[in-house]
A and B are shown apart, each in its own frame.
Chain A
């Protein structure tokens, strides 16, 4: 069955998305929960510590009571990484939507998407459509599917900056801090900060979004960018915004930077702030 090309079947796509939506909505990933617990231990400000302990307790209540981690159950992104020798069937996007529709009804999730955003804003009732991103790079013969549920409050904190190429790292640092100062307190801190450098405008945002999928504490394989991540994390935490914006030592749990080739005229910088409930789950099928 591994010979030649293996095409995923539509039922597998639906079932995987449904399963991932359950996991992502109800169970905080272990790296996030551990990071919140460490933050609650180390935070020196009592009010922020109070908030962090509440978040740790929230993860426990969600798991034990089967309640969504957040009432904003988010807009769903599906990241597909095709391994060598695998392909997608036509209709895979509709199949992903079917899986999400099932999960929305069964958990149940809040329906957070509206049609006609400018005028009618009528609730769609099922959280579809899933935003689908397709890449290569999955393990040979398999497809890696990652579902991310992104809340609206932190999504509203997204920034795009088109810097001059000469502004370099100092410029990037300045605008990332600008974004966190402007919106950090409203993005449900402690946040995870994704920074996309390069590509074009839409690509920079996409890079920033994808950087959220890396485990907390991981560092970019390029030493220069790993150092940038450390430096940025320290600068953000020095702002003192703190958990729930109540003032404290821990404003961000981590900063991830991703890069891609850019045009000779451009230095695009995408900044995505994710709330502490970084709801991402992965399955290989």
Chain B
């Protein structure tokens, strides 16, 4: 009984957030504009400055921009929860006899749908500047699924941030400030070998590096075996999701205003 409520309540909340997407088109607009600007900037400015052996730089960095954009899902989720908390909606939901996890799951599912849309728009923009899938349809779709799952994991981090800070602004900052270091300290924009030795040791184990490697293998058939980086990515995604959803639900239950 409680499981079926968890599902049906989540569906109600997902519908709420999907409606938001159509009611606040500017939000979708800006969340899509940012990665498009990135794609154009990097391909125009750095395309000839950075040489990657055996690969066009555009294709090299495109997965990293996808990963970075998905990581930014944290900010939206954090700000959304902080806003709900601030406006008393979390209190309203907590006073209802609904499933405790539904407010979180419902939002994360809606955001996964939104992120999928963002991703397809980015792929379109990528195609306009010369990015191409070179390894067939199925691996490409597998990569897209992996990216959406990655965004889900990072959204679940945003849950904990959003329910933990006092204001929307603080949630936005706390959701964003570590994303750039995290995504740039990877092999996403420059090859690992160009980084200082001590940094390579850290970057090697970054979830972002695992994602980059997995996506390059899936999109271009580039690099060694796919299995290892894909497996690492999946483990990271599952680990982050489980830990932060657990913390998020716990925080939701006692969210104080």
Partners in one complex: no
**Interface residues, chain A, with chain B CB atoms under 8 Å away:** none
Which residues of B come within 8 Å of A, CB atoms? none
